[in-house]
Structure 1
Amino acid sequence: MTIDQIRENIDRLDGELLRIFNERAQLALEIGKIKKQRGLPVYDPSREKKIFMRMTQENPGPLDDEAIVRLFERVIDESRRLERIRTEGDAAGH
């Protein structure tokens, strides 16, 4: 494969990641609505720990487990931030 062909594959995967990140964020918002209705906190450390454990157990590499945890921490942090923004916006009448 040429560099251009490899880059085309990376671009295609980046597009898939973008779609997946946004789909995941939408699902997190749905969970956020349910949590708000039930008076549950946005942050659930036990759930996050389960995600990290499952992802590292399923990790085939070449990224090491620490890298996988950092990536998922970031994704989860952004989902939590989005939940808070939406929840605060809803509370302010937005």
Structure 2
Amino acid sequence: MDFDQIREEIDRLDSELLRIFNRRAQLALDIGALKKERGLPIYDPDREKRILERVQQDNPGPLSNEAIVRLFERVIDESRSLERARAKGD
């Protein structure tokens, strides 16, 4: 692949990531609504730990496990913030 083809692939992947991030956020909102109905806390440290362990086990590289953890921690944190904001607004 040449320079332009690689950049086009990166742009395509960025668009896919955007779609996936927003889909994940919507699912987090759905979970948040169920948690609220059942009187459960938004933060579930055991679930977060399992997610981070799983993504590290599934990580084929070249990103290090530490980098993967940082990325997923950020995604999880943003989802949790969204859940909290939605819970306050309901």
Root-mean-square deviation (Å) = 0.4
TM-score normalised per structure 2: 0.98
Match of 1:47 in 2: 47
Q: Which stretches of structure 1, 4 residues or more, deviate above 4 A after TM superposition?
A: none
What is aligned with 2:86?
86
Output the TM-score relative to the length of structure 1. 0.94
Deviation at 1:3, TM superposition (A): 1.1
CA–CA distance in structure 1, aligned partners of residues 7 and 77 of structure 2: 28
Q: CA deviation at 1:53?
A: 0.3
Which amino acid in the other structure matches residue 4 of structure 1?
A: D
Which runs of 5 or more structure 2 residues have no equivalent in the other structure? none
CA distance in 2, matches of 1:30, 1:5: 38
In the alignment of these two chains, the number of paired residues is: 90
Q: How far off its partner does 1:2 sit? A: 1.3
2:20 aligned partner = 20
Return the alpha-carbon distance in structure 2 between the equivalents of residues 72 and 36 of structure 1: 24
% identical equivalent positions: 74
The aligned residue for residue 67 of structure 1 is 67
Cα deviations by residue, 1:2-38 (Å, 9 ceiling, x for unpaired): 1111000000000000000000000000000000011
> Could you tell me how far apart the structure 2 residues matched to 1:52 and 1:85 are?
24
